Amino acid sequence: MPQISVERSGNVATITITNPPHGFMDAATVAELDAATAELDADPAVRAIVITGGVPGVFIRHYSVRELETLARQLRERGVAVDPARPVPPRDIDRVFGRLETTPRPVIAAINGFAMGGGFELALSCDLRIAEEGQYELGLPEVRLGILPGAGGTQKLPALVGTARALEMTLRGRTVGPAEAHRLGLVHELVPPGRALERAHQLAAEIAALPPRAVGHIKRLVRAAGAVPRDEGLALERTLFLDLLLSDEALERMTRMNADDRDIRDA
């Protein structure tokens, strides 16, 4: 059975990932996510995307360790060796996570249970993370297997919690409950059990109602803030500011605000 289902409500699309009984991510999950996110990214009618888990108590538990073991054995049998001077090219999972980060649409993770390893890396690739209260864990425990977070975790976690805390968590393989995740800034909001998807939809609808071109430009700039030199980021910011200032939608909104003498918060 397919692991990915997509439902649309107005201009918000919800991706539900269901791989019973444990809710692991595997190659099939990645392939289906690739197809689903590519389709949504190409649809101008979609203005926001929500991702959640379909197995009770699980967002995505983690990537299948059985599949990783099989891959390791196959590569060893082929005599594959790694040279840091020759980086490994991007894989399908990198393309999927990269698409979530670069699509102009906001992507919101409705975390309704376990999200560790690759599952947590998927959540880190989203723009906003809403987590339910409960007895489950989030984090990057890969070091306990003698490996490391290999789908962006070592690069994205420090941006949220700082280098010192990221080192403490990844070197120990320490996972945390949703309350601590919220205190650390790993998730934006903590909601009662069963409410993550509802809250994610509220946020998605709120942002989807705003001018999509402005939303896309803002996401692009903020995402690039730590990845490009500051002068380049500022140059792009003023360029995209002017691009929006000249747009019909911005002019109409500014004219309406000034004519009605509105507060900018009510524009």
239: its two tokens: 């360029």
What is the per-residue pLDDT across 120-130, written as a single tens digit (0 to 9) for each? 999 999 999 99
Q: Hey, what amino acid is at 252?
A: E
What residues are annotated to the active site?
A: 121, 142
Distances, alpha carbon 3 to alpha carbons 24, 54, 118, 122, 209, in Å: 10, 9, 16, 15, 30
Check residue 1 and give its pLDDT.
60
What is the structure's pLDDT at 265?
Answer: 85
Tell me the whole-structure pTM to 2 decimals.
0.94
Predicted pLDDT at 37:
97
Residues of the chain with pLDDT under 50: none
pLDDT at residue 205, rounded to an integer: 97
